[in-house]
Amino acid sequence: MKTIFLRTSAGGKLGWGNLHRILIFYDYFKKKKSLNTYLFVKGNKDVFNFLKKKKVKFLKINNLSLKKEELKLKKIGKADISFIEVLNPTLSLQKIYKDNSKKLVVLDDILKSNYISEILFSCQKNNNPIKKDIKQIIYNDFKYFPLRDNFNPFLNKKKKIRKKISKVVVFLGGGNYRSVYLKVAKILNNMNFRVDFLVGSERCGNIKSKVESLNRNFNLFVNLKNIPKKIFEADLVICGGGYTKIETAYLKTPLICLSVQKHQNNLAENFRAQFGIEFIRFKKNYDPILKKLIMKQNFKKRMSISNKFSRYFSVNGLDRIIRKTMH
Protein backbone atom coordinates (compact mmCIF):
# COMPACT_ATOMS: atom_id res chain seq x y z
CA MET A 1 0.00 0.00 0.00
CA LYS A 2 1.11 3.56 -0.70
CA THR A 3 1.54 6.04 2.16
CA ILE A 4 0.41 9.67 1.96
CA PHE A 5 1.44 12.46 4.36
CA LEU A 6 -0.67 15.62 4.55
CA ARG A 7 0.67 18.58 6.56
CA THR A 8 -1.18 21.81 7.37
CA SER A 9 -1.59 24.55 9.97
CA ALA A 10 -4.62 26.71 10.68
CA GLY A 11 -6.49 28.92 13.13
CA GLY A 12 -6.09 32.46 14.41
CA LYS A 13 -4.05 34.72 12.12
CA LEU A 14 -3.26 31.75 9.86
CA GLY A 15 -6.90 31.52 8.81
CA TRP A 16 -8.72 28.30 7.93
CA GLY A 17 -8.26 28.12 4.17
CA ASN A 18 -5.21 25.84 4.34
CA LEU A 19 -7.05 23.39 6.58
CA HIS A 20 -10.19 23.26 4.44
CA ARG A 21 -8.13 22.73 1.30
CA ILE A 22 -5.99 19.93 2.76
CA LEU A 23 -9.18 18.24 3.98
CA ILE A 24 -10.28 17.99 0.35
CA PHE A 25 -7.20 15.84 -0.27
CA TYR A 26 -7.77 13.94 2.96
CA ASP A 27 -11.35 13.04 1.96
CA TYR A 28 -10.20 12.01 -1.50
CA PHE A 29 -7.35 9.77 -0.32
CA LYS A 30 -9.31 8.19 2.55
CA LYS A 31 -11.71 6.72 -0.01
CA LYS A 32 -8.84 4.86 -1.67
CA LYS A 33 -8.33 1.46 -0.05
CA SER A 34 -4.86 1.21 -1.55
CA LEU A 35 -3.62 4.25 0.44
CA ASN A 36 -2.59 4.87 4.04
CA THR A 37 -3.21 8.56 4.71
CA TYR A 38 -1.78 10.52 7.66
CA LEU A 39 -2.90 14.07 8.42
CA PHE A 40 -0.56 16.25 10.52
CA VAL A 41 -2.14 19.44 11.91
CA LYS A 42 -0.79 22.42 13.81
CA GLY A 43 -3.64 24.57 15.10
CA ASN A 44 -5.59 26.04 18.01
CA LYS A 45 -8.43 24.69 20.14
CA ASP A 46 -11.08 25.71 17.62
CA VAL A 47 -9.28 23.82 14.86
CA PHE A 48 -8.97 20.62 16.85
CA ASN A 49 -12.58 20.77 18.06
CA PHE A 50 -13.70 21.24 14.47
CA LEU A 51 -11.74 18.19 13.31
CA LYS A 52 -13.03 16.05 16.18
CA LYS A 53 -16.59 17.06 15.42
CA LYS A 54 -16.04 16.12 11.77
CA LYS A 55 -14.54 12.80 12.96
CA VAL A 56 -11.33 13.48 11.06
CA LYS A 57 -8.42 11.32 12.17
CA PHE A 58 -5.34 13.51 12.63
CA LEU A 59 -2.02 13.78 14.44
CA LYS A 60 -1.55 16.94 16.52
CA ILE A 61 1.91 18.47 16.23
CA ASN A 62 1.49 21.58 18.39
CA ASN A 63 4.56 22.61 20.39
CA LEU A 64 6.74 20.07 18.62
CA SER A 65 10.13 21.09 17.31
CA LEU A 66 10.81 20.15 13.70
CA LYS A 67 13.18 17.48 14.97
CA LYS A 68 10.40 15.88 17.03
CA GLU A 69 7.97 16.24 14.14
CA GLU A 70 10.42 14.38 11.94
CA LEU A 71 10.64 11.59 14.51
CA LYS A 72 6.88 11.15 14.17
CA LEU A 73 7.30 10.74 10.42
CA LYS A 74 10.14 8.23 10.82
CA LYS A 75 8.04 6.07 13.15
CA ILE A 76 5.46 5.70 10.39
CA GLY A 77 8.00 5.09 7.64
CA LYS A 78 8.80 6.82 4.38
CA ALA A 79 5.79 8.23 2.51
CA ASP A 80 5.30 7.72 -1.20
CA ILE A 81 4.15 11.32 -1.47
CA SER A 82 3.73 14.26 0.94
CA PHE A 83 1.55 17.33 0.47
CA ILE A 84 2.32 20.50 2.46
CA GLU A 85 -0.32 23.25 2.66
CA VAL A 86 0.72 25.95 5.15
CA LEU A 87 1.10 29.73 5.19
CA ASN A 88 4.72 30.54 4.22
CA PRO A 89 6.24 27.02 4.18
CA THR A 90 9.79 27.22 5.50
CA LEU A 91 12.66 25.36 3.87
CA SER A 92 13.29 23.49 7.14
CA LEU A 93 9.70 22.22 7.20
CA GLN A 94 9.87 21.24 3.53
CA LYS A 95 13.17 19.44 4.13
CA ILE A 96 11.90 17.03 6.78
CA TYR A 97 8.99 15.99 4.55
CA LYS A 98 11.19 15.80 1.46
CA ASP A 99 13.68 13.60 3.34
CA ASN A 100 10.90 11.33 4.52
CA SER A 101 9.00 11.05 1.23
CA LYS A 102 9.69 9.76 -2.26
CA LYS A 103 7.98 12.88 -3.65
CA LEU A 104 7.12 16.24 -2.08
CA VAL A 105 4.29 18.48 -3.28
CA VAL A 106 3.84 22.01 -1.90
CA LEU A 107 0.66 24.06 -2.32
CA ASP A 108 1.30 27.76 -1.74
CA ASP A 109 -0.63 30.55 -3.43
CA ILE A 110 1.50 33.40 -2.07
CA LEU A 111 4.80 32.23 -3.61
CA LYS A 112 7.09 34.27 -1.39
CA SER A 113 9.10 31.33 -0.04
CA ASN A 114 11.89 29.22 -1.48
CA TYR A 115 10.87 25.73 -2.53
CA ILE A 116 12.61 22.36 -2.70
CA SER A 117 9.58 20.25 -3.60
CA GLU A 118 9.45 18.18 -6.77
CA ILE A 119 6.11 19.82 -7.62
CA LEU A 120 4.76 23.24 -6.60
CA PHE A 121 1.16 24.35 -7.06
CA SER A 122 -0.10 27.90 -6.82
CA CYS A 123 -3.84 27.36 -7.15
CA GLN A 124 -4.27 31.06 -7.84
CA LYS A 125 -2.57 33.01 -10.60
CA ASN A 126 0.39 34.71 -8.93
CA ASN A 127 2.95 36.96 -10.62
CA ASN A 128 5.58 36.74 -7.88
CA PRO A 129 8.95 35.52 -9.23
CA ILE A 130 9.79 32.02 -8.01
CA LYS A 131 13.22 30.77 -7.03
CA LYS A 132 13.16 27.20 -8.24
CA ASP A 133 15.32 24.17 -8.74
CA ILE A 134 15.81 23.39 -12.43
CA LYS A 135 14.09 20.02 -11.95
CA GLN A 136 11.10 21.44 -10.13
CA ILE A 137 7.70 21.45 -11.84
CA ILE A 138 5.49 24.49 -11.17
CA TYR A 139 1.79 24.91 -11.90
CA ASN A 140 0.51 28.45 -11.37
CA ASP A 141 -3.15 28.89 -12.30
CA PHE A 142 -6.66 29.23 -10.86
CA LYS A 143 -7.55 26.03 -12.74
CA TYR A 144 -5.69 23.97 -10.15
CA PHE A 145 -7.89 25.12 -7.28
CA PRO A 146 -9.37 21.98 -5.62
CA LEU A 147 -13.04 21.82 -4.67
CA ARG A 148 -15.08 19.64 -2.36
CA ASP A 149 -17.34 17.03 -3.95
CA ASN A 150 -20.49 19.05 -3.26
CA PHE A 151 -19.35 21.65 -5.82
CA ASN A 152 -19.26 19.12 -8.68
CA PRO A 153 -23.03 19.07 -9.47
CA PHE A 154 -22.89 22.80 -10.23
CA LEU A 155 -19.76 22.95 -12.39
CA ASN A 156 -21.59 22.38 -15.67
CA LYS A 157 -24.99 23.65 -14.59
CA LYS A 158 -26.31 26.77 -16.36
CA LYS A 159 -26.33 29.85 -14.15
CA LYS A 160 -29.32 32.19 -14.30
CA ILE A 161 -28.53 35.89 -14.00
CA ARG A 162 -31.53 37.92 -12.84
CA LYS A 163 -32.20 41.46 -14.04
CA LYS A 164 -32.00 42.86 -10.52
CA ILE A 165 -30.05 41.83 -7.43
CA SER A 166 -32.28 40.21 -4.84
CA LYS A 167 -30.23 37.50 -3.11
CA VAL A 168 -26.80 38.34 -1.69
CA VAL A 169 -24.35 36.02 0.05
CA VAL A 170 -21.52 37.25 2.29
CA PHE A 171 -18.77 34.61 2.35
CA LEU A 172 -15.41 35.80 3.71
CA GLY A 173 -13.81 32.51 4.76
CA GLY A 174 -13.48 30.34 7.84
CA GLY A 175 -11.32 32.68 9.93
CA ASN A 176 -12.30 35.04 12.72
CA TYR A 177 -13.77 37.90 10.67
CA ARG A 178 -16.59 38.88 13.06
CA SER A 179 -15.93 42.61 12.86
CA VAL A 180 -15.90 42.58 9.05
CA TYR A 181 -19.16 40.62 8.89
CA LEU A 182 -20.79 43.14 11.21
CA LYS A 183 -19.52 46.10 9.16
CA VAL A 184 -20.84 44.54 5.95
CA ALA A 185 -24.18 43.75 7.58
CA LYS A 186 -24.61 47.38 8.63
CA ILE A 187 -23.75 48.56 5.10
CA LEU A 188 -26.31 46.18 3.55
CA ASN A 189 -28.99 46.94 6.13
CA ASN A 190 -30.84 49.53 4.06
CA MET A 191 -30.30 48.04 0.60
CA ASN A 192 -33.43 45.86 0.42
CA PHE A 193 -31.66 42.53 -0.20
CA ARG A 194 -32.14 39.07 1.25
CA VAL A 195 -28.70 38.32 2.66
CA ASP A 196 -27.16 35.05 3.86
CA PHE A 197 -23.95 35.34 5.89
CA LEU A 198 -21.78 32.20 5.81
CA VAL A 199 -19.25 32.02 8.64
CA GLY A 200 -16.84 29.53 10.16
CA SER A 201 -16.88 28.37 13.77
CA GLU A 202 -13.81 30.18 15.08
CA ARG A 203 -14.88 32.59 17.81
CA CYS A 204 -18.23 33.20 16.14
CA GLY A 205 -19.79 33.91 19.56
CA ASN A 206 -22.99 35.94 19.39
CA ILE A 207 -22.45 37.20 15.86
CA LYS A 208 -25.57 35.35 14.66
CA SER A 209 -27.90 37.29 16.96
CA LYS A 210 -26.11 40.59 16.24
CA VAL A 211 -26.40 40.22 12.47
CA GLU A 212 -29.94 38.83 12.36
CA SER A 213 -31.25 41.50 14.75
CA LEU A 214 -30.33 44.19 12.22
CA ASN A 215 -32.76 43.05 9.54
CA ARG A 216 -35.43 40.36 9.23
CA ASN A 217 -34.07 39.52 5.76
CA PHE A 218 -30.65 38.62 7.21
CA ASN A 219 -29.74 35.01 8.03
CA LEU A 220 -26.41 33.83 9.37
CA PHE A 221 -25.19 30.22 9.06
CA VAL A 222 -22.23 28.66 10.89
CA ASN A 223 -20.35 25.93 8.98
CA LEU A 224 -23.18 25.48 6.50
CA LYS A 225 -22.98 22.19 4.58
CA ASN A 226 -24.66 23.31 1.36
CA ILE A 227 -22.51 26.38 0.67
CA PRO A 228 -22.29 25.68 -3.11
CA LYS A 229 -26.07 25.70 -3.44
CA LYS A 230 -26.38 29.00 -1.56
CA ILE A 231 -23.75 30.66 -3.71
CA PHE A 232 -25.04 29.24 -6.99
CA GLU A 233 -28.54 30.60 -6.27
CA ALA A 234 -27.27 34.07 -5.26
CA ASP A 235 -27.29 37.12 -7.52
CA LEU A 236 -24.14 38.56 -5.95
CA VAL A 237 -21.51 37.32 -3.49
CA ILE A 238 -19.38 39.52 -1.28
CA CYS A 239 -16.40 37.27 -0.65
CA GLY A 240 -12.88 37.32 0.74
CA GLY A 241 -9.81 37.86 -1.41
CA GLY A 242 -8.48 34.34 -0.84
CA TYR A 243 -10.06 30.97 -1.55
CA THR A 244 -13.70 32.07 -1.36
CA LYS A 245 -13.49 34.16 -4.53
CA ILE A 246 -12.40 31.11 -6.57
CA GLU A 247 -15.08 28.88 -5.07
CA THR A 248 -17.62 31.55 -6.02
CA ALA A 249 -16.17 31.81 -9.53
CA TYR A 250 -16.52 28.05 -10.07
CA LEU A 251 -20.23 28.55 -9.33
CA LYS A 252 -20.42 31.28 -12.00
CA THR A 253 -21.79 33.83 -9.53
CA PRO A 254 -20.83 37.54 -9.84
CA LEU A 255 -18.79 38.80 -6.89
CA ILE A 256 -17.10 41.66 -5.10
CA CYS A 257 -13.90 40.86 -3.17
CA LEU A 258 -13.07 42.21 0.27
CA SER A 259 -9.46 41.44 1.15
CA VAL A 260 -9.60 40.37 4.80
CA GLN A 261 -5.84 39.74 5.05
CA LYS A 262 -2.97 41.80 3.64
CA HIS A 263 -1.59 39.05 1.40
CA GLN A 264 -4.96 38.82 -0.36
CA ASN A 265 -4.46 42.23 -2.01
CA ASN A 266 -2.10 40.82 -4.64
CA LEU A 267 -4.27 37.73 -5.22
CA ALA A 268 -7.42 39.82 -5.65
CA GLU A 269 -5.62 42.26 -7.96
CA ASN A 270 -4.57 39.41 -10.26
CA PHE A 271 -8.10 38.05 -10.19
CA ARG A 272 -9.52 41.44 -11.14
CA ALA A 273 -7.07 41.76 -14.03
CA GLN A 274 -8.24 38.45 -15.48
CA PHE A 275 -11.98 38.56 -14.83
CA GLY A 276 -12.92 42.24 -14.40
CA ILE A 277 -14.34 41.91 -10.89
CA GLU A 278 -14.28 44.68 -8.28
CA PHE A 279 -12.33 44.44 -5.03
CA ILE A 280 -11.58 46.46 -1.89
CA ARG A 281 -8.08 46.39 -0.47
CA PHE A 282 -7.29 45.18 3.04
CA LYS A 283 -8.14 47.65 5.82
CA LYS A 284 -9.83 50.12 3.48
CA ASN A 285 -12.96 51.78 4.86
CA TYR A 286 -15.65 49.56 3.31
CA ASP A 287 -18.39 52.17 3.60
CA PRO A 288 -19.10 53.97 1.24
CA ILE A 289 -16.89 52.05 -1.24
CA LEU A 290 -18.89 48.82 -0.93
CA LYS A 291 -22.20 50.56 -1.55
CA LYS A 292 -20.85 52.17 -4.72
CA LEU A 293 -19.47 48.89 -6.02
CA ILE A 294 -22.77 47.10 -5.41
CA MET A 295 -24.64 49.79 -7.31
CA LYS A 296 -22.29 49.25 -10.28
CA GLN A 297 -23.27 45.57 -10.54
CA ASN A 298 -25.94 45.99 -13.19
CA PHE A 299 -27.33 43.12 -15.26
CA LYS A 300 -24.87 43.56 -18.13
CA LYS A 301 -21.81 43.60 -15.85
CA ARG A 302 -22.96 40.59 -13.82
CA MET A 303 -23.74 38.64 -16.96
CA SER A 304 -20.30 39.41 -18.40
CA ILE A 305 -18.50 38.24 -15.24
CA SER A 306 -20.62 35.10 -14.97
CA ASN A 307 -19.86 34.21 -18.60
CA LYS A 308 -16.11 34.67 -18.03
CA PHE A 309 -16.27 32.38 -15.00
CA SER A 310 -18.30 29.82 -16.93
CA ARG A 311 -15.77 29.63 -19.76
CA TYR A 312 -12.76 29.36 -17.46
CA PHE A 313 -13.92 27.16 -14.57
CA SER A 314 -15.44 23.82 -15.54
CA VAL A 315 -13.14 21.09 -14.19
CA ASN A 316 -12.51 20.55 -10.48
CA GLY A 317 -8.88 21.54 -9.85
CA LEU A 318 -8.50 18.50 -7.58
CA ASP A 319 -8.75 16.24 -10.63
CA ARG A 320 -5.96 18.19 -12.34
CA ILE A 321 -3.69 18.00 -9.27
CA ILE A 322 -4.23 14.26 -8.83
CA ARG A 323 -3.33 13.64 -12.48
CA LYS A 324 -0.13 15.67 -12.13
CA THR A 325 1.02 14.11 -8.84
CA MET A 326 -0.27 10.55 -8.53
CA HIS A 327 0.29 9.20 -12.06
The enclosing H or E element of 207 equals helix 207-212
Show the CA angle centred on residue 44, arms to residues 39 and 50, nearest 5°.
65
Which pLDDT value is given to residue 288? Answer: 83
114 and 160 part of one domain: no
Q: List pLDDT tens digits, range 134-153.
A: 578 999 998 999 999 999 99
CA distance 107 to 95: 15
Domain contains 322: no
Residue at 323 is within a domain: no
Residue 20 sits in the same domain as residue 135: yes
Q: How many folded domains does the chain comprise?
A: 2
**Per-residue model confidence (pLDDT) at position 125:** 81
Same domain, 274 and 248: yes
Question: Higher confidence at residue 109 or residue 201?
Answer: 109
Q: Give the CATH number of the domain where residue 287 resides.
A: 3.40.50.2000
Tell which of 140, 165, 185 closes a domain: 140
Answer yes or no: is 325 within a domain.
no
Residue 319 lies in a domain: no
Q: Pick from 90, 118, 140: which residue ends a domain?
A: 140
Q: Are 18 and 175 in contact (CB under 8 A)?
A: no
Instruction: Identify the residue with better confidence: 301 or 282.
Output: 301
Residue 255 lies in a domain: yes
List, for residues 229-259, the tens digit of each pLDDT value. 999 999 999 999 988 999 999 999 999 999 9
What gap in Å lies between CA 190 and CA 192, rounded to an integer? 6
Decide if pLDDT at 175 tops 80.
Answer: no
Judge if 157 and 305 occupy the same domain: yes
Cβ atoms 200, 226 nearer than 8 A: no
Reported as a single tens digit per residue, the pLDDT across 195-208 is 999 997 666 668 89
Residue with more model confidence, 126 or 213: 213
Spatial distance between the Cα atoms of 199 and 202, rounded to a whole number of angstroms: 9
Task: Establish if 327 belongs to a structural domain.
Answer: no
Q: Give the pLDDT score at 256.
A: 97
Q: Which domain holds residue 181?
A: 150-312
